[in-house]
Amino acid sequence: MLGFAKKALVSEADSPAESTGPRHVAIIMDGNGRWAKKRHLPRALGHKKGVEAVREIVRYAATTGLEALSLYAFSSENWKRPEDEVSDLMGLLRAFIKSDIDEFAANDVRLKILGNYKVLAPDIIELIEDAITRTAHNTRTTLAVALNYGAQDELVRAAQAAAAEGAITEEAITRHLDTADMPPLDLVIRTSGEQRLSNFMLWQAAYAELWFTDTLWPDFGPEEFGRALAEFTTRERRYGGR
């Protein structure tokens, strides 16, 4: 009886993900630099191609019924890169929001930012906040872009907010994470052959499935994304139970 009750509790919370595919997928979009290097092109071109891959993946995700897609675009550690590369990435971010926001708005995609974006350039903050406002009521898919995001920083902020309210509990921390209004994370994908989380979604990934591919991010497309989603449905998730 006890076993049955426990099992029922787990399946109640998680059966949508198991039977119909993941609800929330996070992607560590890595390998832009190596993609460019292989072709003897400037790194900036790799990042530009990377943005094109983002566009295709977001379009595809919206057609799959995925509730949420989180994309690691710029980590809190990426400031360590040379100034010109950071500036190229910020320029691409600016251009991407400007060129793609109408499509998000039209396709019922809600934009959200993970990480402390308030330290970005004032014009980027304005573009971001305008895009968030314009898409706030959209319900088809949430696109969460991680900018100046680091999971350790997110956890410190969440713990501080929880402490200010009272006890620091798992529930309170979860409620104060940047992902608070998103479904639980089901699947983490990382491209480019690296098999690490690089400070992404450390709390949320506790029981997420992990999927790695050697494909460099600019070459990652809907077909391979579809394969990852399909493979997810074959994984047996146990959450420590049996």
Q: Which residues are catalytic?
A: 30, 78
Work out how close the CB of 215 gets to Mg ion at its nearest, in angstroms, rounded to a whole number: 13
Decide if residue 174 touches ligand IPE (CB under 6 A): no
Contact 22, 13 (CB under 8 A): no
Binding mask 86-105 for ligand IPE (x = CB under 6 A): ---x----------------
Which residue type sits at 195? Q
Residues 8-47 that bind ligand IPE (CB under 6 A): 28-34
Interface stretch with Mg ion, choices 25-33, 41-49, 109-117, 146-154 (CB under 5 A): 25-33
Work out how close the CB of 219 gets to ligand IPE at its nearest, in angstroms, rounded to a whole number: 12
| Closer of 30 and 67 to ligand IPE (Cβ) | 30
Q: Three-class SS of residue 145?
A: strand
Q: In what order do the strands lie in the sheet with 141-149?
A: 109-114, 141-149, 68-75, 24-28, 187-190, 209-212
Work out how close the CB of 86 gets to Mg ion at its nearest, in angstroms, rounded to a whole number: 14
Q: Three-class SS of residue 26?
A: strand
Q: Please list the residues that pair with 24 across neighbouring strands.
A: 68
**166 φψ region: left (φ > 0), alpha (ψ -120 to 50), beta (else):** left
* β-bridge pairing 141-149 and 209-212: unpaired
Decide if residue 30 touches Mg ion (CB under 5 A): yes
Q: State the residues that interact with ligand IPE by CB under 6 A.
A: 28-34, 72-75, 78, 89, 192, 194, 196, 198, 217
